[in-house]
Amino acid sequence: MGKAEVRYGHVEGPGKGREVPVKAACYFNRQGGKFVRMTEGSASMCATVGNLPAGWLETSKDDAGKAGWSPSSGDVAFMIYANDQDVFEMPAEEGVASLAASQIGLMFRFAMTGATYNLVQKARVANTTASPLEVVDVDTVNRTVKVRVHPRYRQ
């Protein structure tokens, strides 16, 4: 039995948010997470340990012939606020440890793999204090986690 096609994104909660400007020349792969932070009035990908997410970006359709979307100057997208009720599914990065049900309730941080259109935001499998992603469920078959943003670590 093969892996199912997983649709990453908002899976639970009210999904409230608003349209925000998106920083040009960022890359949002369809097979990765899309947590963003607001910097100078525009959304950009949360890529490092210190980035606190403002929300999850619902991106446009993929650019022609590409596996994702790269906004141009002036583009906007809908951002779902990072709150306690909303849960998002994203891929797990298992470089430190293997994904297991025992990790529900732990705190994960962001990990990035690839570059440009192949840049994928993942949740690093390792309990890390002061990390924004609280694991609420795991899918060990498809190697994904369902996370919410911990209120202490949101922008």
Give the amino acid at 148: R
CA proximity to 56, closest of 91, 90, 104: 90
Q: Where are the domains of the chain?
A: 15-153
Q: Per-residue confidence at 113, pLDDT binned at 50, 70, 90?
A: very high
Give the amino acid at 46: C
The mean of the pLDDT values for the chain is 92
Specify the pairing of strand 107-113 against strand 76-81.
Answer: unpaired
* Beta carbons of 155 and 39 less than 8 angstroms apart: no
Whether residue 52 has pLDDT greater than 80: yes
To the question of pTM greater than 0.85 for the whole model, the response is yes
Q: How many residues does the chain have?
A: 155
Partners of residue 12 on adjacent β-strands: 87
Instruction: Report the SS3 class of residue 148.
Output: strand
Query: What pLDDT is attached to residue 48?
Result: 76
CA torsion sign for 100, 102, 105, 106 is negative
Containing H/E element for 134?
strand 133-139
* Beta carbons of 27 and 33 less than 8 angstroms apart: no
- Residues with Cβ within 8 Å of 35's Cβ and at least 6 positions away in sequence, in order, are 45, 46, 53, 55, 56, 57, 82, 88, 90, 110, 121, 132, 133, 149
Higher pLDDT among residues 99 and 2, named by residue:
99
Q: Give 21-78 as a DSSP string.
A: EB-TT--EETTSB-EEEEETTEEEE--STTPPP-EEEE--SPPTTSSEE-PPTT-EEE
* Beta carbons of 97 and 143 less than 8 angstroms apart: no
Tell me the CATH class for 15-153: mainly beta
